[in-house]
Chain A
Amino acid sequence: MADVNRGNRPLSPHLQVYRLPLAAITSIMTRITGHALVAGIVLITWWLVAAVTSPGAFACADWVVRSWLGFIILTGSMWALWYHLLAGLRHLFYDAGYGLEIEQAHKSSQALIAGSVVLAVLTLIVFFVF
């Protein structure tokens, strides 16, 4: 086992046509949301730095934050944060040895998608009502 050949192993020729199972889609989405969150944190950091720079700089950053573009970035980041948080929680359970069966992973994937959307909608409602 330790002497197994680790190079020159055949690669699957079906990577382009293989239909990803739900668990694989939610897994890669964890990575995508994690990296996409750069947009949100850069926007907020720029906004904070602009606030201590000058009224002109703040007016510019604040306009972007309050614009439709800012709304899309911040709302998207908010959903991505919830998604990445729930996916990260699932990873902690995986690490502890729970939920690794295919059926369980499929169910947790469904819960992940539904949970992140529900939390995002709730967050938006709370934000606009209060």
Chain B
Amino acid sequence: MRYITPRKAAEGLGSAHEGTQHHWAMTVSAVALTVLTPLFMIVVARAIGLSQEQLLAYFGRPFPALITALFVIVGMVHFIKGTRIMIDDYFQGGTRKAAIIFSVIFGWAVIAAAVYALARMGLGAIVVL
């Protein structure tokens, strides 16, 4: 019989010493995304149907570029952390490790691709002007 109360195991960082940060990061990114999501929908809706030249000019402007960059970065970080929970729930051992590694690499690859495209469009606009 160990004289440990349930509170001892639960308070502070908890028995795993992590997880609180994960939950808090999800909360912060979720709140940010509640604002970014409707804005991103508007940005994409206005972009669909544009010609390539118009699209380059459109995403060269600050508002569409910033909203898209923020949405993809915050969204994919939210995705990586959210996927981690799903992986922890359903997979074990080597499969779990492989899935986590793939999820993190995939998430940052999407961020890199989107930011690269936006940077090219933004710099192109400066050169044209």
List A residues at the B interface (Cβ < 8 Å): 1-3, 31, 34-35, 37-38, 41-42, 44-46, 48-49, 51-52, 55, 58-59, 62, 65-66, 74, 78, 81, 85, 88-89, 91-92, 95, 123, 126-127
Given contacts A62-B52, A91-B30, contact A49 B113 (CB under 8 A): yes
* Interface residues of B, count at CB 8 A: 39
A-B contact count (CB 8 A): 85
Per the bound structure, the CA–CA distance linking A58 and B56 in Å amounts to 11
5 smallest CB-CB distances across A and B, nearest first, come from: A48-B117, A52-B120, A2-B4, A1-B6, A58-B52
Instruction: Using CB atoms, name the residue of chain B closest to A46.
Output: B113
B68 to chain A minimum Cβ distance, whole angstroms, is 8
B41 interface neighbour in A81, A88, A95, Cβ under 8 Å: A81
Q: Cβ of A51 and Cβ of B55 under 8 Å apart?
A: yes
Q: Cβ of A48 and Cβ of B82 under 8 Å apart?
A: no
Interface of chain A, main secondary structure: helix
Per the bound structure, the CA–CA distance linking A34 and B76 in Å amounts to 11
Chain B residues with CB under 8 Å of A89's CB are 34
Q: Cβ of B6 and Cβ of A88 under 8 Å apart?
A: no
Given contacts A3-B1, A3-B2, contact A55 B52 (CB under 8 A): yes
Q: Cβ of A65 and Cβ of B4 under 8 Å apart?
A: no
A74 to chain B minimum Cβ distance, whole angstroms, is 8
Chain B residues with CB under 8 Å of A123's CB are 41, 45
